[in-house]
């Protein structure tokens, strides 16, 4: 489950049995520019749970599709931006996005003599120092490293606060002077995405390769620093990839391209990301697990189901642990069934672990609406189905969540080897429906199980 804020307390009596913990993000960043003290000490965190995932958020957050939130960058960063606005992502109209720093300044010493990468490293080191007790407790099972807007490895190509409306394709974010200097010829034209348009020309391919490769390098550098900071800690790193499902069923995949995912029918834009994560033994965290194509407006040209299948398959093909979450708040059986299907695409294996299974699923999010009795009862039934109708087991090793000291990342992967993963491969097959269907019958099964458990308690 996911909650946000600095002081969260969930009573065990209200925590659904068989949920294993909580994901915490936002609210821990201090505002001063001094090195070594960028994170509050976590004294406000009061969590009763068997484990939790943490997102040390190194960026602002202007929300996402279906997620309204506004968290600013620290004031001292914004003050530097007043003098040098090119530290922020910029579109072709000159609109600056102040949600996060441009990856063009990753290695520019513009922040009191320090580079952006050094700031991110300082932040993670400060997080480790201030959260030492939590790390030693071994309840913290993974740390999702923020790599961009909303913590995701992407460009901020679609931002509602700057006028974007779903399902718009968004805009390329490479017009700050630092990225323009890196790419001296801008390959953008008004007709870029038309059928047979610029994106298919040699110039277009060159631009899109550069644009996506910069994102890969950015993520790789930050994860490498994170690995060095948390070396020896009994946690795993994780990185989140955005679910840009709109325009997936078009020739150009335009919304993915502007976000930095160079993904076409003849080019896989996600396996190279998975290959980078494999070097750091990191978890790939994806989203929109609950979505089905027909639920989206026709004009969106959505391929949420195929996208999830492609990204998860790519992660498994690169021998990664794959995790995920729902993109929008949902409380209905149809959404839960889709999550169950994606969590075990080939169903339950009666004789051992499933052939394909997700490492973990985060449910977004803990709210008053979820706690309404009907919604909460359905949610508890969903949690039981996630456990294949088995009783709760608190031992994380039963779920293959072994906590071992983090090892140093593998050597850097040459770019040509990385880009070999762009060759399309057939995704793993998915069942049409989950074998743990949460229909009315499934819900009744849950009620019967509760009655049987109460009866056993009374007998004993």
Classify residue 332 as exposed, middle or buried by CB count within 10 Å of its CB (0-12, 13-18, 19+). Answer: exposed
Give mean pLDDT, residues 267-291.
Answer: 97
pLDDT grade for 250, boundaries at 50, 70 and 90: very high
In a domain, 196, yes or no: no
Rounded CA-CA distance 3/75 in Å is 25
Highest mean pLDDT among 178-182, 202-206, 272-276, 355-359: 272-276
pLDDT grade for 210, boundaries at 50, 70 and 90: very high
In a domain, 53, yes or no: yes
In a domain, 222, yes or no: yes
End-to-end CA distance of the chain: 32
In a domain, 420, yes or no: yes
In a domain, 324, yes or no: yes
Classify residue 316 as exposed, middle or buried by CB count within 10 Å of its CB (0-12, 13-18, 19+). Answer: buried
In a domain, 82, yes or no: no
The per-residue pLDDT for range 294-308, each reduced to its tens digit, is: 999 999 999 999 999
Q: Which residue has the tokens 């400060």?
A: 126
Indicate which residues carry an active-site annotation: 152, 325
What interhelical angle do 440-459 and 373-386 show, nearest 10?
90
In a domain, 406, yes or no: yes
Return the pLDDT at 30. 46
Q: Which residues contact 158 (CB under 8 A, 6 or more apart)?
A: 65, 164, 166, 168, 170, 255, 258, 259
Return the pLDDT at 27. 44
CATH code for the domain of 302: 3.20.20.80
> 331, 375 in Cβ contact below 8 A?
yes
Give mean pLDDT, residues 318-323.
Answer: 96
Element (H, E) at 119: helix 116-130
Rounded CA-CA distance 30/41 in Å is 10
Could you tell me the CA-to-CA distances from 336 to 209, 342, 343, 375 in Å, in that order? 37, 10, 10, 12
Secondary structure letter of residue 267 according to DSSP:
B
In a domain, 207, yes or no: no
The number of folded domains in the chain is 1
Supply the range of the domain harboring residue 60: 2-70+107-165+217-459
The per-residue pLDDT for range 412-452, each reduced to its tens digit, is: 999 999 999 999 999 999 999 999 998 755 556 556 656 65
């Amino acid at each position: 489950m996911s909650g946000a804020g600095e002081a969260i307390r969930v009573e065990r009596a209200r925590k659904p049995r068989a949920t294993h913990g909580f994901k915490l993000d936002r609210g821990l960043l201090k505002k001063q520019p001094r090195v070594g003290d960028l994170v509050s000490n976590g004294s406000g965190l009061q969590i009763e749970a068997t484990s939790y995932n943490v997102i040390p958020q190194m960026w602002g957050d202007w929300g996402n599709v279906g997620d309204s939130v506004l968290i600013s960058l620290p004031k001292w960063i914004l003050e530097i931006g007043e003098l040098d606005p090119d530290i922020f992502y910029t579109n072709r109209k000159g609109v600056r996005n102040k949600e996060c720093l441009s990856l063009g300044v990753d290695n520019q010493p513009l922040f009191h003599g320090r580079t952006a990468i050094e700031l991110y490293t300082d932040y993670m080191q400060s997080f480790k120092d201030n959260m030492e007790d939590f790390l030693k407790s071994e309840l913290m099972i993974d740390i999702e490293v923020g790599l961009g807007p909303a913590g995701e490895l992407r460009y901020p190509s679609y931002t509602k606060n700057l006028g974007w409306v779903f399902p718009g394709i968004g805009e390329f974010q490479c017009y700050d002077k630092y990225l323009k200097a890196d790419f001296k010829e801008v390959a953008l034209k008004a007709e870029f995405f038309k059928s047979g348009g610029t994106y298919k020309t040699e110039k277009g391919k060159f631009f899109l390769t550069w644009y996506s490769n910069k994102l890969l390098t950015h993520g790789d550098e930050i994860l490498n620093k994170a690995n060095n900071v948390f070396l020896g800690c009994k946690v795993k790193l994780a990185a989140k990839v955005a679910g840009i499902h709109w325009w997936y069923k078009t020739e150009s995949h335009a919304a993915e391209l502007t976000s930095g995912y160079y993904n076409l029918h003849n080019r896989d834009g996600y396996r190279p990301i998975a290959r980078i994560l494999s070097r750091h033994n990191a978890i790939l965290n994806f989203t929109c697990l609950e979505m089905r194509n027909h639920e989206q407006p026709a004009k969106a040209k959505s391929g949420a189901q195929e996208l999830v299948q492609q990204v998860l398959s790519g992660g498994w093909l690169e021998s990664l642990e794959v995790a995920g979450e729902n993109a929008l708040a949902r409380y209905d059986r149809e959404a839960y069934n889709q999550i169950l299907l994606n969590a075990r695409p080939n169903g339950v294996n009666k004789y051992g672990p499933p052939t394909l299974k997700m490492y973990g699923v985060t449910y977004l999010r803990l709210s008053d609406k979820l706690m309404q009795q009907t919604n909460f009862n359905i949610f508890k039934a969903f949690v039981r189905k996630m456990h294949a109708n088995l009783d709760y087991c608190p031992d994380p090793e039963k779920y293959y969540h072994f906590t071992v000291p983090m090892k140093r990342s593998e050597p850097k992967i040459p770019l040509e080897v990385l880009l070999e993963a762009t060759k399309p491969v057939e995704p793993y097959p998915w069942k049409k429906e989950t074998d743990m269907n949460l229909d009315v019958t499934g819900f009744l099964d849950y009620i019967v199980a509760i009655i049987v458990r109460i009866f056993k308690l009374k007998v004993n």
